């Protein structure tokens, strides 16, 4: 799984290639629109929020930052037996009273699983969100994507994409208690 902003392969199209591409484009316009589904996106509820404390204290004055994660737009593109998906992931962070460096350092995960919850791949991504000027609430928008090779009659509906914040055991327990 990779974090992508754009993908371009450097090549020089020939006139023959352009003619073929034009013919294929016209044929694609005349064909039916894609009806196969995208994977379902699930934000893991226990991992959708993080409260990061300074040291051992658990008082409001000990909060470095609070963060939440959500999934945005999911785009799927089928090409024969491959499904290329791209997902927007948004993280919103609020600066706490104990945060002197004006930065929220966190990580989030994206996992691909079958609908039977068998995890096929899980990747973590580090994210540093600065609090510029006097801002105490900021957000970051990331894009993650992957190409899935489909087997037989599989389609995107056979998969789930799980998203959440990477939490310590204590942070997970804090979320469940609050």
Beta strand segments in 40-136, E = 40-43, 49-53, 63-79, 82-95, 103-114, 119-130
What is the value of pTM for the model shown? 0.79
What pLDDT, in 10s, does the model give residues 149-174? 999 999 999 999 999 999 999 999 99
In 3D, which of 141, 133, 165 has the Cα closest to residue 66?
Answer: 165
Phi, then psi, of 158 in degrees rounded to 5? -85, 0
CB 85 within 8 A of CB 39: yes
Strand order in the sheet with 159-165: 40-43, 159-165, 103-114, 119-130
CB 66 within 8 A of CB 99: no
What pLDDT, in 10s, does the model give residues 103-161? 999 999 999 999 998 999 999 999 999 999 999 999 999 999 999 999 999 999 999 99
Helices (H), 116-168: none
């Amino acid at each position: 799984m990779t974090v992508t902003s754009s993908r371009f392969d450097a090549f020089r199209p020939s006139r023959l290639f352009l003619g073929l591409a034009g013919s294929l484009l016209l044929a694609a316009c005349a064909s039916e629109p894609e009806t196969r589904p995208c994977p379902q996106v699930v934000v893991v509820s226990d991992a959708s929020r993080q409260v990061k404390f300074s040291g051992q204290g658990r008082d409001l004055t000990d909060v470095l930052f609070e963060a939440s994660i959500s999934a945005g737009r999911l785009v799927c593109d089928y090409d024969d037996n491959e499904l290329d998906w791209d997902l927007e992931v948004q993280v919103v962070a609020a600066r706490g009273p104990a945060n002197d460096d004006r930065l929220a350092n966190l990580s989030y995960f994206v996992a691909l699983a079958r609908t039977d919850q068998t995890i096929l791949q899980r990747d973590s991504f580090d994210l540093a969100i600065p609090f510029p000027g006097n801002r105490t609430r900021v957000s970051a928008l990331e894009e993650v994507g992957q190409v899935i090779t489909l087997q037989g009659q599989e389609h995107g509906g056979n998969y789930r994409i799980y998203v959440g914040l990477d939490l310590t055991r204590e942070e997970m327990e804090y979320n469940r208690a609050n």
